[in-house]
């Protein structure tokens, strides 16, 4: 068949182990995984000798990169951003919207919907992450305080409608008013609720987890610290079985905290995210994060007044290198944190997040030094070094 793509001789990750295998991609799917394939029929082939074939990376928390800010981008720009993500090994992501004034927020939802429906040149849009406005003002991070409001089912419904029902994940703070009703409502719609930007106490957070919360937004960052008499949101997130996002750029979390989180949660509940802003992949300078002015120096992004760190300049491939380095564990033990685990949280694990017969052909091919050589999203080569 002419439209088949054959990936030969790669070191392929399957069920937690590397094996030498050939992969046949037909259309958007993995059609064959075998020891050695007769390659005479495949029109397109990649020689992956000496290379490692992994599931494509999934970033559930990113605000932009390559000079493009998701809150303020539309059309061609958003599509360009998907190409940047593909260069970093990402095959699927949740464009993450920061708290913004209603009109701007709605415009951003429409813009993402349009680009998702048209189809992207690079990584695929798997849905939208709404990071706010239902957060705690005292833990706002880089969010504009005056725009932070209590959860509103009515407003959320309007946003979801405008997005074409593409909202997949919403971050809320457990101390906000009527939050339990909100969590139950959203969860019934199969939308994931994550808790974060919060100073809530342990009991309040456990009640939210009981009500359906499935994840924590950048655990430890923009949260009340853990105290042995007041375990706070961090204690509840570590003790329960929810997923926890970690920003592993070496700035947001001490490597010892990454190891502690992995030990407490198990690798299967950790999700590596970038929380990257438009300054990822471009030089230091002045940038925007939604409505806020940002200054990036030595790769460290901060609000222009210096009061708070404001997202990261991390890329997914660097996140993977860091997780391997910080934990001292093998690539095969760390890879799920940016592939299978986010797919599982999003309810997409039957199709995405691992390499096996019949799954979406979302793949990244790395050399020994973790350079991305090829990225394949739903069967198409979207990046080639
Ligand atoms: Zn964020």
For residue 382, which phi and psi values (nearest 5 degrees)? -100, -10
Ligand 1: centre distance to CA 216 (Å): 12
Do 284 and 360 belong together in one domain? no
Q: What is the pLDDT of residue 297?
A: 93
Domain extent at residue 368: 4-54+354-384
Given the residues 22, 59, 69, 275, select the one marked as catalytic: 275
Q: How many distinct structural domains can be found in the chain?
A: 2
Do 323 and 211 belong together in one domain? yes
Do 297 and 185 belong together in one domain? yes
Do 280 and 371 belong together in one domain? no
Measure the CA dihedral 65/289/78/339, to 10°. Answer: 50
Do 79 and 50 belong together in one domain? no
Do 254 and 359 belong together in one domain? no
List the one residue out of 34, 36, 47, 112 whose CA is nearest residue 73. 112
Do 245 and 286 belong together in one domain? yes
Ligand 1: centre distance to CA 61 (Å): 6
For residue 212, which phi and psi values (nearest 5 degrees)? 135, 0
**What is the domain-level CATH number for residue 31?**
2.30.40.10
Q: What is the pLDDT of residue 37?
A: 73
For residue 53, which phi and psi values (nearest 5 degrees)? -105, 120
CA 151/CA 12 separation, integer angstroms = 44
For residue 182, which phi and psi values (nearest 5 degrees)? -65, -45
Write out residues in the chain with pLDDT < 70, as ranges: 1-2, 39-41
CA 73/CA 64 separation, integer angstroms = 9
Q: What is the pLDDT of residue 2?
A: 56
- Model pTM score: 0.97
Collapsed DSSP state (helix, strand, coil) of residue 12: strand
What b/e string do you get for 66-80 counting C-beta neighbours within 10 Å, with b at 16 or more? bbbbbbbbeeebbbb
Ligand 1: centre distance to CA 380 (Å): 29
Q: What is the pLDDT of residue 36?
A: 79
Ligand 1: centre distance to CA 282 (Å): 18
pLDDT tens digits for range 216-251: 999 999 999 999 999 999 999 999 999 999 999 999
* Angle, helices 316-327/255-265, rounded to nearest 10 degrees: 80
Q: What is the pLDDT of residue 82?
A: 98
Do 30 and 107 belong together in one domain? no
Note if 69 is an active site residue.
Answer: no
Q: DSSP of 103-129, one letter per residue?
A: HHHHHHHHHHHHHHHH--SSSEE--EE
Ligand 1: centre distance to CA 290 (Å): 10
Do 139 and 157 belong together in one domain? yes
Give the other-Cβ count within 10 Å of 189's Cβ: 11
Do 147 and 8 belong together in one domain? no
pLDDT tens digits for range 54-104: 999 999 999 999 999 999 999 999 999 999 999 999 999 999 999 999 999
Do 200 and 295 belong together in one domain? yes
Q: What is the pLDDT of residue 289?
A: 86
Q: What is the pLDDT of residue 141?
A: 87
Do 69 and 49 belong together in one domain? no
């Amino acid at each position: 068949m002419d439209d088949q793509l054959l990936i030969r001789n790669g070191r392929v990750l399957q069920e937690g182990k590397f094996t030498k295998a050939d992969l046949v991609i037909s259309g958007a799917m993995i059609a064959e995984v075998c020891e050695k394939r007769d390659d005479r029929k495949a029109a397109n082939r990649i020689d992956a000798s000496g290379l490692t074939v992994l599931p494509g990376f999934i970033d559930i928390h990113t605000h932009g990169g390559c000079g493009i800010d998701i809150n303020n981008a539309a059309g061609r720009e958003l599509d360009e951003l998907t190409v940047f993500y593909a260069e970093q090994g990402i095959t699927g992501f949740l464009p993450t919207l920061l708290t913004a004034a209603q009109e701007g927020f709605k415009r951003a939802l429409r813009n993402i919907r349009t680009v998702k429906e048209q189809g992207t040149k690079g990584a695929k849009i798997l849905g939208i992450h709404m990071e706010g406005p239902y957060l705690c003002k005292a833990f706002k991070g880089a969010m504009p305080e005056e725009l932070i409001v209590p959860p509103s089912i009515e407003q959320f419904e309007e946003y979801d409608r405008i997005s074409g029902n593409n909202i997949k994940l919403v971050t809320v703070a457990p101390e906000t008013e009527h939050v339990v009703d909100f969590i139950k409502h959203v969860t019934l719609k199969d939308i994931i609720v994550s808790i974060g930007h919060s100073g809530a106490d342990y009991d309040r957070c456990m009640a939210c987890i009981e009500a359906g919360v499935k994840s924590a937004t950048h655990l430890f960052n923009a949260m009340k610290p853990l105290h042995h008499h007041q375990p706070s949101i961090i204690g509840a997130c570590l003790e329960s079985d929810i997923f926890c996002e970690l920003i592993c750029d070496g700035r947001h979390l001490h490597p010892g905290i990454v190891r502690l989180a992995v030990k407490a949660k198990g690798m299967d509940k950790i999700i590596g995210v970038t929380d990257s802003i438009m300054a990822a992949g471009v030089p230091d300078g002045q940038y925007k994060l939604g409505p806020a002015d940002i200054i990036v120096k030595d790769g460290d992004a901060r609000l222009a007044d210096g009061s708070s760190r404001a997202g990261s300049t991390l890329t997914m491939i660097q996140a993977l290198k860091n997780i391997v380095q910080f934990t001292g564990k093998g690539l095969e033990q760390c890879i799920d944190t940016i592939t299978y685990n986010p797919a599982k949280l999003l309810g997409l694990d039957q199709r995405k997040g691992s390499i096996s017969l019949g799954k979406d052909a979302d793949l990244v091919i790395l050399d020994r030094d973790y350079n991305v050589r090829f990225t394949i999203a739903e069967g198409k080569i979207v990046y080639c070094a």
